[in-house]
Amino acid sequence: MPARPEPTRRLFFALRPDETVRQSLETVAAKRLRKAKRVPADKLHITLAFPGSVTQAVQQCLEAGAGRIVAPPFDLLVDHAGYWPRPRIVWIGPTRIPEGLWALVTALRQVLEECGLVPESRPYQPHITLARKVNPGSVAGEFEPVPWSIRNFSLVESVTDPAGAKYLPLRFWELEG
């Protein structure tokens, strides 16, 4: 009998806003995207690294690696909006990528590699997806920049059910230094 494939979980490392920042991001999204179906407020985040579907052993490796990261807290300013035509995504993000964010993303990419995952070849573009499958016409206007103090990072599981993907935060690690 063929061996059953090992169960996997779809994981990503992310920055998750606290309630105050979440409300500010949601206000921006509501103003910019009056008509489009928006990403729900509790799903707003910045992906740091994307392991994708992994086995339990790889997950353990990723968690151990994340726990060894030594990186300082940092601040960022979400002050820029963009549109990617191919996935038809509207997003917002920081114009300036702080040193601390580079350090964290570089460290996480290294952890993924150490755990045997294919290295990410695309340059890192921090973004908060506000809506998918929308037309460029729905992007309009300036917005009040949102300051965000990053004090920790999370491991999140994306679970797909008939109602769409749910994001379940599994663990978080404090930034210190």
Choose between 124 and 173: whose C-beta lies nearer to ligand 2AM: 124
* Closest to ligand 2AM by CB, 4 or 86: 86
Cα–chain-centroid distance for residue 81? 16
Classify burial at 176, counting beta carbons within 10 Å of its beta carbon; exposed 0-12, middle 13-18, buried 19 or more.
exposed
Nearest to ligand 2AM of 72, 136 (CB atom): 136
Rounded Cα distance, 69 and 72, in Å: 10
Q: Are strands 89-94 and 164-174 parallel, antiparallel or unpaired?
A: unpaired
Between 24 and 129, CB nearer to ligand 2AM:
129
Class of residue 37 by CB neighbours under 10 A (exposed 0-12, middle 13-18, buried 19+)? exposed
Applying CB under 6 A, does 157 fall inside the site for ligand 2AM? no
Of residues 100 through 139, those in contact with ligand 2AM by CB under 6 A are 129
In the complex, least distance from residue 129 CB atom to ligand 2AM, rounded to whole angstroms: 4
Q: Considering only CA atoms, which of 156, 95, 155, 158 is closest in space to residue 125?
A: 95
Name the residue with tokens 């726990």. Answer: 67
**In this chain, which of 9, 12, 65, 139 binds ligand 2AM, going by CB under 6 A?**
12
Least Å distance between CB 127 and ligand 2AM?
A: 6
Tell me which of 9, 27, 41, 47 binds ligand 2AM, using CB under 6 A: 47
How many chain residues are in contact with ligand 2AM, going by CB under 6 A?
A: 5
Which CB atom, from 1 or from 163, has the smaller least distance to ligand 2AM? 163
Q: How far is CA 108 from CA 97, 142, 147, 160, in A?
A: 16, 32, 23, 24
Which residues in this chain contact ligand 2AM in the complex, by CB under 6 A? 12, 47, 50, 129, 158
